[in-house]
Amino acid sequence: MTRRGVALAGLATASMLSGITAAGAPMLGVAAAKERGITVESAGWCATGVCAHGLSAPAMHGLNAQHVAVDWNGSVRVVGARISLARTTPESTAGPNAAVAVPAWLGPVHVEGLTVEGAPLPELSGEVWPVRHLTGEGVTIDDDVADADVSSPWGPLHVRVQPAPSGHGYAVTATSTGLSVPATLLGEAFTLADVGAVGTWSDGAWEGAVSAGALQVPARVVPEAGGGVARLTLTDVPVSTLIEALAPVVPEVRHAHVLGVASAQVTLTAKDGAMDVEVLEPALFGFRVDGLVADGLRSKFSYAIRDANGAPSTRTAGPEVAGWTPLQAFGTLLPAAVIAAEDAGFYKNPGYDLPSMVDAAADNLARGAVHRGGSTLTQQLAKNLYLDGTRTYVRKIRELLYAVDLENTIGKRGVLETYLNIVEFGPGLYGAAAATDRYFLKSPAGLLPEEAAWLASVLPSPRSAWTEQYQRDRPNTAKINAILDNMISLSDQDRDEAKGRALRFVH
């Protein structure tokens, strides 16, 4: 990006000074330079040879220089030069024959304090003729190659720019041993290792591929005022590669065996410090996870809970533990109500609903906080068994891994049976059998449709429902009726009768 502008600075200066020397007097040289579109405020003899002040060459990338000196041996020194990459060149305004001829007597051309407008470069100093070697703070330019150490909001990057092999545009590469991903993006801060980008800058955009570890994704970046737009294309990317990039915050990477590929179109739009993310056509093919779910789910296991007072505790459950209820002992109404309330596509989905997750993520980004999760019933079971209630995208990724393994390990019936045995229905009330006994003095199989619907309705906030509905004898009829409407196994008569009955709690 800087090669042409820097070269023009030296050549424009050389052109002016050739006129000065040929004329044999500084002022005649000024007149000769003016005919070439170069103006000089003043010129005269100095101790080193000829010195000029206030040089200006608008046609040559808007070149300006505070001071120019030509030594008797033909070497040139330019101080305080400024050029603009946005300006036109002599070739574009007067044709190719207007290119500056290099005089035979010209020696080395040195610059001090060169500023390039339109490029994120510091002031540069060094030689532009006959070779280019310029340095500035964190930047080195050798001939056609520019190397720079630059800062980004996520950490330092090393950037190399050089002419593209095709002859059109510039090859731009960026590398970093690690970038700090802020917590605002995924909910937990972490370092993304071995990050890089390789591509070509031309026609106002960069196109190539970005990488993090083994992950490599085609991308196109278009800078805009105050930010820019990046579009990434994921085509048959191994899911394991995506997950491994998040290893610092997804500890399951060390144990899980992940199969399958992912595809999506991702657009990142940055504007004035804010970022919007849009995901189109997300898809997972052959997605499978093994190695996370213990076989103990078929016998005996422990998981974290809160006791009736809200203090952390541990509960042991499982088919070999007293009080465990087999799925068939729950009857038909309670499982149907839970599925209607929490995951209508339970028997059709693979343990996750990708479109719902993407829609929820988009809604959360628009709101600036996590309000929706898009979780299936299997993902809720994974959260209850293995994770805490932190609402972050990192936790959603971990939850997804466990959910897919749960479906693979214990199947749909096992998921539903385990969920109904371990989920919270109120303070200290874990499992549907305890809940039906406490609220209605019944076994799960003996519930009426409206009772089953109410129990399903409290699952998102069971402690709140205990206080606001159970203790006040004020069940949320609207939620009950909505769940009854979604219980497709109910006949119209049973549904109407259930809606017509008053729900009665046992205290």
User: What pLDDT does residue 90 have?
Assistant: 37
Residue with tokens 């046992």: 506
339: its two tokens:
């599925």
- State the CB neighbour count (10 A cutoff) for residue 309: 8
Chain centroid to CA 47? 59
User: What pLDDT does residue 89 have?
Assistant: 38
User: What pLDDT does residue 367 have?
Assistant: 61
Is 295-500 a CATH 1.10.3810.10 domain?
yes
Instruction: Give the list of residues 6+ apart from residue 25 with CB closer than 8 angstroms, or none.
Output: none
Report, as ranges of residue numbers, the positions in the chain whose pLDDT lies below 50.
1-4, 6-9, 11-12, 14-23, 87-99
Residue with tokens 């009950």: 480
User: What pLDDT does residue 369 have?
Assistant: 56
- What would the 3-class secondary structure string for 133-184 be? EEEECCEEEECCEEEEEEEECCEEEEEEEEECCCCCCEEEEEEEEEEEECHH
User: What pLDDT does residue 107 have?
Assistant: 82
Give the C-alpha separation, 47 to 294, whole Å.
86
Q: What sign does the CA torsion over 487, 428, 406, 242 have? A: positive
User: What pLDDT does residue 459 have?
Assistant: 96
User: What pLDDT does residue 21 have?
Assistant: 44
Task: Show me where the domains of the chain are located.
Answer: 3-137, 152-290, 295-500
Q: Is the pTM of this model over 0.85?
A: no
Give the C-alpha separation, 68 to 53, whole Å.
6
Q: Which pLDDT tens digit goes with each residue over 293-343? A: 987 898 999 999 999 999 999 999 999 999 999 999 999 999 999 999 999
